[in-house]
Amino acid sequence: MMKTRRQFLSQSVMLTSGALLSSLDATAYPTQPNVTFPANPRDRLAVASYPFRDFILPAAYGSASAPRTARRMELAEFAMHVKSRFNINKIEPWSSHFRSIEPKYLDDLRTAFDTAKSAVVNIAFDGRHSFYAADRAERELAVADNKHWLDAAATLGSPSIRTHIASADNQPPDLDRSIDTLLRIVEYAAMRNVVIHLENDDGVTEDPVFLVKLIENVNSPWLRGLPDFGNSLMHKAPEDAYAGVEAMFDHAYGICHVKQSEATEKGANVQVDLAYVFAILKRTGFRGYLSMEHDNSGDPYQETEDLIAKSLRFLS
């Protein structure tokens, strides 16, 4: 997702991570994630809620993909909607589509998703607090927010979240402070049996070269890469962008974002060489989920159907 989207839905009531920590049995923590990923190509596909932001409440107008008179659905309806429209039973909800992360709301979401016989494979969490801010209090807020969303993922049965490295006063990212912050977050992620993913998203704070350094220095099985097929093409020459995507796949685990085009901040349209990226995916042995995340002008329904058809063809 582009850095211009960083709108975090403020939460009125948060889970108390400290109380949960004290109740967990340290001897029961898994040493590494052990998700059983499906082998069937269609079962590996998920649909992200972000492309449908104009159809989901709270509405996030901006892409003008839906007429103002169109009916908006709640996130609780999205899984059933995706299953009936695309014959896909896995979703990747965006944090801004959550009304809250209060226990009752999350329990109701889980019930709705279970009723649809669908699963959450990742939560795309757009945090507003920086991992590398010079202000320690700001970093503490980043840790706390990520713990809340790890709790939410555990409640919904999601094996992972994708977190965001927010900018700190437009300063370039600081590796050491980011490492220190993420070490604390992944420690909690292990307790919740939820993987943290970093995505090559923002061209400055989430450059794939920086993310790989961060992942390798944290050196935890609970911190992995989330390769996005198109984001790096907005900021780099194609050869550098694809090299970055391959480096991300080398550190991937649970999920990647499939897209076939991307709009730059200047309005240019860049095309993804899907055959080339799928060849990288296969060469690196990636076995996780593939989330359809159309991110350009046009009808997200038609574009998602096209992405699904092409993904199934390349995976076969």
Measured at the alpha carbon of residue 88, what is the angle toward residues 227 and 256, in degrees to the nearest 5?
A: 5
The pLDDT of residue 18: 43
CATH 3.20.20.150 fits 45-315, yes or no: yes
List, edge to edge, every strand of the sheet that includes 119-120: 119-120, 90-92, 45-48, 289-292, 255-258
Burial of 32 (0-12, 13-18, 19+ CB in 10 A): exposed
* Lowest model confidence (mean pLDDT) among 2-11, 94-103, 217-226: 2-11
Does residue 219 come out as left (phi exceeding 0), alpha (psi in the -120 to 50 range) or beta? left
DSSP secondary structure letters along 59-114: P--SS--S-TTSPPBPHHHHHHHHHHHH---EEE-BGGG-S---HHHHHHHHHHHH
Measured at the alpha carbon of residue 166, what is the angle toward residues 160 and 171, in degrees to the nearest 5?
A: 150
- In this predicted structure, the answer to whether residue 69 has a pLDDT above a threshold of 80 is no
- In this predicted structure, the answer to whether residue 11 has a pLDDT above a threshold of 60 is no
| 0.85 exceeded by pTM | yes
pLDDT in tens, 251-296: 999 999 999 998 877 778 899 999 999 999 999 999 999 999 998 8
Which has more confidence, 263 or 15?
263
Q: What is the mean pLDDT of the chain?
A: 90
pLDDT in tens, 76-87: 999 999 999 999
Does residue 165 come out as left (phi exceeding 0), alpha (psi in the -120 to 50 range) or beta? beta
CB 119 within 8 A of CB 160: no
Query: If you average pLDDT over residues 122-135, what whole number do you get?
Result: 97
The pLDDT of residue 59: 57
Domain range summary for the chain, segments of one domain joined by +: 45-315
